[in-house]
Structure 1
Amino acid sequence: MSKNLLNRDFHASRSNEKWVTDITYLIFNRQKLFLSAIKDLYNNEIISYQVSRRNDLTLVIVTIKKAKKKRDVKGILLHCDQGYQYTSHQYNNLFEKI
């Protein structure tokens, strides 16, 4: 389990300092869709998002890879809950390469 570095401090003094991410679901045409998003706490901008019919690791990985293409992610604090997607080895390996 990772430490809670954000510690409920949702204020960021600059862009790309603190990001938060999570997954929610939406009902669309009687189907459940899952939305994964990354938000910059500096200005509440959605940096990246992905929609899928499955709530799985691939959904999270694609969302992060899209964010990495748009921004320099070195030094960013990315806060998430401790869901299985965010505690997987594949998820954590993404950040070892940064």
Structure 2
Amino acid sequence: MRAIDKLYIKRPFFGTRKVRQHFGINRKRAQRLMRLLGLEAAQPRRSTSRPAPGHKVYPYLLRNMAITRRDQVWATDITYIRLQHGFMYLTAVMDLYSRNVLSWRLSNTLTGAFCLEALDEALGRARPEIFNTDQGAQFTATAFTSRLERYGVAISMDGRGRALDNVFVERLWRTVKYEEVYLRDYADGWEAEKSLGKYFDFYRTERPHQALGYRTPMAVYQGG
């Protein structure tokens, strides 16, 4: 599964057909592995991130928007982190202007609790004008959206099947996996959490970003 995840990060437009051709596996196995990892080609198509029945879906607000200041737009997403035996789910809240990771959480299930914990931690520091998510049930849940609405935050949601609508968080996952996850072999969730904590501290305060003029996310965020 790690090999498929690496390929997807390099070629997010690859669907099941190209994955099975690349690895020489049959269609059903390719579909099963991609579904297990929550992967889909980054192009308009049916999405695996679906709102729960009865959950409200909000419009996408970021198209053609210039992001010019911190706390203008925050975004979140979920990815998987492979362990020696099984895997866990990682979520993070990012300020898009500075690329600063405001909070993150690991969970062994896809229930919404860990996403809400990450949101609450971030909201304890500041308030965004807009918060962008995909249409996953964790983010369309009333507990999540009502928390944002309580603070007067406008909610934006990616179009169905449009992975590139949340491209900054997708780039974060690519960076985290190539610079941290793929270099480790986490024995368990505790080890993963400890190592990821060190990495996120490095990412925020020491790792320069070309797009930020070779400043760190924290320096840009604190500088406004």
1:91 paired to 2:147 = no
Per the normalisation by structure 2, the TM-score is: 0.40
Identity percentage over the alignment?
24
1:3 counterpart residue number: 59
Shift of 1:31: 2.3
Query: Paired residues, what number?
Result: 95
Q: CA RMSD in A?
A: 1.4
What are the Cα deviations for residues 44-91 of structure 1, in whole angstroms up to 9, with x where unaligned?
1111101111111101100100101122x1x52110000111111111
Letter in 1 for 2:61: L
Q: 2:134 aligns with which of 67, 73, 81?
A: 81
Runs of at least 4 residues off by over 3 Å = none
**CA distance in 2: counterparts of 1:18 and 1:53, whole angstroms:** 28
The 5 A counterparts of 1:17-96 are 17-71=72-126, 73=127, 75-96=128-149
Q: Which has the higher contact order (CA 8 A, sep 6+)?
A: 1
Measured after TM superposition, the shift of residue 8 of structure 1 is 6.1
Unaligned runs of at least 5 residues, structure 2: 1-56, 152-224
Give 1:29 deviation, angstroms: 2.4
Instruction: Give TM-score, length-normalised by structure 1.
Output: 0.88
Q: Distance in 1 between matches of 2:64 and 2:112?
A: 25
Q: Structure 1 residue 37: deviation in Å? A: 0.5
Residue equivalent to 2:70: 15
Q: CA deviation at 1:12?
A: 1.7
